[in-house]
């Protein structure tokens, strides 16, 4: 593969090369890349703003993450934050700090991934910053979305008796990560051994190419449902439930046998000799939507495609508990979610 040094283009040449393939899609984008700031217009909508910092060695490992997937994922996890407010992502800025290890071709791959994500979600690239880094790759993404007045959903609106719902299934991205980490050590030990991913493609895809659940937000809108609280599951279900309950001043009960898990996740947990429900509760990066609905919407909630009711909100004094399958024991929820600042 050709390798062109970034120094041959310089900062502005590089930015031009990386951004020229992006097409403007939204009328709210008045002016994108190329000035001191992007210019947007949101006369009738709320403006949602989210930002994420992704650092090599902390948030991703380029030994097994293809750089194009990294670009895709970096964009999509920001879109997920906008959907989690019941909004629609519209504009994105991408800043990168890169060491000399990276070539122009690497950056083109990264931006190709960003572009696919932007095309899938109808988002415009409107700015960013490119600079040298003394160490690894450093990615900062900000995303602007639009929210409809009165329909923006916060974490703090859950009420006792509300149903707790979650989209898709949980724990698969975490299992994908375990799998990649295991095969990484296989690689390190003996280059002749090919990594064994057969039958586990879904887990890898969940880790490497997560989906932001635009479809769920659209389904809710089509059925006229506005959740009382919502967030995306990035640090694990347990941790996110605690966020919603703490910010809403409530407790909750979730039922182990209601927590959606894919069979590949279950097979993998068995193979790794891990507790499946722990993986589903505490494994991060699922990017599913967790939301609460008033009890009277129960029948409507059951018609939602790829959504499961997993429990309900309680008064705060009842605490936050998981009810186990079979014997119905209560275990307190713990935020064992991924936290890069822990020791």
Site for its own copies in 21-50 (CB under 8 A): 30-31, 34-44, 46-50
User: How many CA atoms, within 13 angstroms, populate the side-chain half-sphere of residue 57?
Assistant: 4
Distance CA 281, CA 154 (A): 21
Closest CB 199 distance from its own copies, rounded Å: 34
CB of 155 to its own copies, least distance (A): 5
Residue closer to its own copies by CB (options 116, 335) is 335
Interface pattern 156-195 for its own copies (x via CB under 8 A): x---------------------------------------
Interface mask (CB under 8 A) for its own copies, residues 222-241, using x and -? ---------xx---------
Residues 76-95 that bind its own copies (CB under 8 A): 81-82, 84-85, 87, 91, 93, 95
Q: Least distance (Å) from its own copies to the CB of residue 133?
A: 5
- What is the nearest approach in angstroms of its own copies to the Cβ of residue 209? 21
Using the minimum distance from each CB to its own copies, give the nearer residue, 51 or 275.
51
**180 is written with which tokens?**
């990649």
Q: Please, what is the minimum distance in Å from the beta carbon of residue 327 to its own copies?
A: 32
Q: By CB under 8 A, how many residues form the interface with its own copies?
A: 72
Q: Give the number of other Cβ atoms within 10 Å of residue 111's Cβ.
A: 25
Q: Which member of 21, 24, 51, 329 binds its own copies (CB under 8 A)?
A: 51
Q: To 5 degrees, how large is the angle CA 176–CA 103–CA 113? A: 45
Quick one: 56 or 108, whose CB is closer to its own copies?
Answer: 56
User: Which residue's CB is nearer to its own copies, number 303 or number 339?
Assistant: 339
Report if residue 142 touches its own copies, rule: CB under 8 A.
yes
**Which is closer to its own copies, CB of 204 or CB of 281?**
281
- The answer to whether the CB of 158 falls within 8 A of the CB of 63 is no
* Site membership for its own copies, residue 265 (CB under 8 A): no
3-state secondary structure 237-260: HHHHHHHHHHHHCCEEEEEHHHCC
User: Would you state the structure tokens that stand for residue 161, as one six-digit string?
Assistant: 């008796």
Q: Could you tell me which residues come within 8 angstroms of residue 259 by beta carbon, excluding any fewer than 6 positions away?
A: 166, 170, 237, 277, 280, 281, 308, 310
How far, in Å, are 144, 164, 199, 239, 305 from residue 49 at the CA level? 5, 26, 39, 22, 28
Q: Is 341 in the site for its own copies (CB under 8 A)?
A: yes
**Residues in region 188-207 near its own copies by CB under 8 A:** none
Interface residue with its own copies among 25, 116, 151, 152 (CB under 8 A) is: 152
Q: What single DSSP character describes residue 195?
A: P
Measured between alpha carbons, how far is 26 from 72 in angstroms, rounded to an integer? 20
Binding of its own copies at residue 3 (CB under 8 A)?
no
Mask for 93-132, x = binds its own copies (CB under 8 A): x-xxx----------------------------xxxxxxx
Question: Residue 180's CB: how many other CB atoms inside 10 A?
Answer: 19
In terms of phi and psi (left: phi > 0; alpha: psi -120 to 50; beta: otherwise), the region of 308 is beta
> Quick one: which of 161, 211, 219, 247 contacts its own copies (CB under 8 A)?
247
The phi-psi region of residue 142 (left if phi > 0; otherwise alpha if psi is between -120 and 50; otherwise beta) is: beta
């Amino acid at each position: 593969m050709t390798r062109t040094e970034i120094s041959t283009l310089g900062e502005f040449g590089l930015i031009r090369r990386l951004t020229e393939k992006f097409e403007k899609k939204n009328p709210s984008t008045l002016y994108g890349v190329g000035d001191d700031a992007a210019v947007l217009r949101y006369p009738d909508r709320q403006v949602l703003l989210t930002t994420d910092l992704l650092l090599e060695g902390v948030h991703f490992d380029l030994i097994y993450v293809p750089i194009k997937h990294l670009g895709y994922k970096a964009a999509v996890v920001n879109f997920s934050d906008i959907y989690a407010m019941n909004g629609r992502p519209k504009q994105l800025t991408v800043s990168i700090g890169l060491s000399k290890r990276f070539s122009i071709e690497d950056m083109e791959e990264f931006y190709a991934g960003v572009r696919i994500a932007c095309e899938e979600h109808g988002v415009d690239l409107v700015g960013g910053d490119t600079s040298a880094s003394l160490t690894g790759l450093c990615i900062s993404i900000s995303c602007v979305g639009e929210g409809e007045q009165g329909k923006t959903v916060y974490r703090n609106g859950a009420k006792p008796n509300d149903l707790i719902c979650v989209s898709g299934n949980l724990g698969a991205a975490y299992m994908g990560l375990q799998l990649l980490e295991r095969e990484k050590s296989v690689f390190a030990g003996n280059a002749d051994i090919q990594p064994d991913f057969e039958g586990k493609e879904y887990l890898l895809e969940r880790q490497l190419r997560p989906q932001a659940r635009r479809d769920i937000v659209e389904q809710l809108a089509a059925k006229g449902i506005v959740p009382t609280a919502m967030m995306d599951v990035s640090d694990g279900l347990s941790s996110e439930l605690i966020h919603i309950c703490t910010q809403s001043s409530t407790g909750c009960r979730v039922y182990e046998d209601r927590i959606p898990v894919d069979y590949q996740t279950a097979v993998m947990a068995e193979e790794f000799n891990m507790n499946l429900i722990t993986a589903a509760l505490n494994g991060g990066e699922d990017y599913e939507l967790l939301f609460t609905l008033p009890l009277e919407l129960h029948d409507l909630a059951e018609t939602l495609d790829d959504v499961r009711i997993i429990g309900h909100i309680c008064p705060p004094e009842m605490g936050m508990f998981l009810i186990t399958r079979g014997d119905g024991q209560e275990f307190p929820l713990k935020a064992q979610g991924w936290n890069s600042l822990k020791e």
